[in-house]
Amino acid sequence: MYFCGRKLMRMKIGTIDLGERPVFFAPMEDVSDPSFRRLCKEFGADMMYTEFISSDGLIRDAEKSVRKLDIADYERPVGIQIYGKNPEAMVEAALRCEEAQPDLIDLNFGCPVKRVAGKGAGAGLLQNIPLMLEITARVVKAVKIPVTVKTRLGWDENNLPIVSLAEQLQDVGIAALTVHGRTRKQMYKGEADWTLIGAIKENSRMTIPIIGNGDVSSPEIALQKFTNYSVDAIMIGRAAIGKPWLFKEVKHFLQNGELLPPITIPEKVELAKRHLSYSLERKGDITGVFEMRQHFSNYFKGLPNFKETRIRLVTETNPNTIHSILDEIAAQWGDY
């Protein structure tokens, strides 16, 4: 296939073949859990990651951290993401992750939240690049599977090292780099700036794949990012929350140049039921229902006069009753 006069290349991370113009699902705490990843995979996401895992928590066997190692064969290729600022802990955690047999390990150097970046981990490492490189080099040496990095443009508008940092990370052996086009200071505000992501791709010394991330919310924007910045893949985060079918819409548009018809409420209801069944299967009745609550809210956001039904949906504990409420939604808002 040809694209803007260029032959489209298959993207590879190590030996993982991700096809042409792949679309990744971003790691997101409390969102990219196993059941939601399964749906995103069914809708065509080409690569997925666990929620980030604290290296300190993992090596202490903290239940929350260990639980996040839960990956399944049907979601491959899948990466486990870890964060931390202590090189020994990061190496030990990476070895622990490797035992769970992911396709790769991703190092989070982009998380902006205070409890992480404020303590020098995540995006905090953008203020200590020698330590970031030391952690990366040591993890790369310690494990046999590919190691990738996800980070931001820099700490703030006066500190934007990403183009040279990309080279340094490549030199210590990472297999791919994801860049979110914001600084730590921006958190999630303003608009993602992809200019420097494009500049990394223009650097002739770069050979590893570059995954662009930030504000891809529609098929048209996805195509525009591939076209304008020549990235090897795009990664979608927030726009897929409550909308896992976005992957199908984006991939269909990239392949055929056509937009799919919008999903209907009865289709969303069927999807919510399927999601619930995956969650129950994976987490059991109590946690399975509990973890679905925010997903239910996300699926039906924006429906008129929905408040009372929403409250019932997110407080009900019996899966059969939840099914009945979902059927009511399909019947009541079916034509919306």
Ligand X SMILES: Cc1cc2nc3c(=O)[nH]c(=O)nc-3n(C[C@H](O)[C@H](O)[C@H](O)COP(=O)(O)O)c2cc1C
Q: Which is nearer to ligand X, 80 or 172 (CB)?
A: 80
Three-state SS at 178: strand
Site for ligand X in 32-51 (CB under 6 A): 51
Contact flag: residue 225 with ligand X (CB under 6 A): no
* Helix (H/G/I), strand (E/B), else coil: 269: helix
Residues pairing with 235 in the sheet: 24, 213
Closest of 119, 66, 130 to residue 96, by C-alpha:
66
Contact 163, 200 (CB under 8 A): yes
Q: Cα separation of 213 and 167, whole Å?
A: 18
Q: Does 31 bind ligand X (CB under 6 A)?
A: yes
CA distance 72 to 80: 12
Q: Does 28 bind ligand X (CB under 6 A)?
A: yes
What element of type H or E holds 107?
A: strand 104-109
Draw the binding track, 82-121, toward ligand X (x: CB under 6 A; -: no contact): --------------------------x-xx----------
Catalytic residues, by residue number, are 111
Q: Counting contacts by CB under 6 A, is residue 81 touching ligand X?
A: yes
Interface residue with ligand X among 213, 249, 251, 333 (CB under 6 A) is 213
Length of the chain: 336
The values of phi and psi at residue 154, to 5°, are 165, -170
C-alpha–C-alpha distance, residues 250 and 260, integer Å: 9
φ/ψ of 84, rounded to 5, equals 160, 170
Binding-site member from 34, 154, 237, 288 for ligand X (CB under 6 A): 237
| 150 vs 248 by CB, closer to ligand X | 150
User: Closest CB to ligand X among 153 and 172?
Assistant: 153
Q: For ligand X, which residue of 214, 219, 244, 288 counts as binding (CB under 6 A)? A: 214
Q: Who contacts 207 (Cβ-Cβ below 8 Å, separation ≥6)?
A: 170
Closest CB 277 distance from ligand X, rounded Å: 24
CB of 125 to ligand X, least distance (A): 13
CA distance 112 to 167: 22
CA atoms in the 13 A half-sphere facing the CB of 196: 22
Binding range to ligand X, per CB under 6 A, among 25-33, 65-73, 164-172, 305-313: 25-33
Q: Under the criterion CB under 6 A, does residue 236 sit at the interface with ligand X?
A: yes
51 vs 92 by CB, closer to ligand X? 51
Query: Which residue number has the CB closest to ligand X?
Result: 237
Residue 295, interface with ligand X (CB under 6 A)? no
- How far lies 331's CA from each of 145, 171, 328, 334, in Å? 49, 58, 5, 5
Asked if 216 touches ligand X (CB under 6 A), the answer is yes
Q: Which is nearer to ligand X, 156 or 191 (CB)?
A: 191
Position 150 contacts ligand X (CB under 6 A): yes
Q: Which residue type does 245 have? A: W
Q: Which is nearer to ligand X, 250 or 265 (CB)?
A: 250
Binding site for ligand X (CB under 6 A): 26-29, 31, 51-52, 81, 108, 110-111, 150, 180, 213-216, 236-239
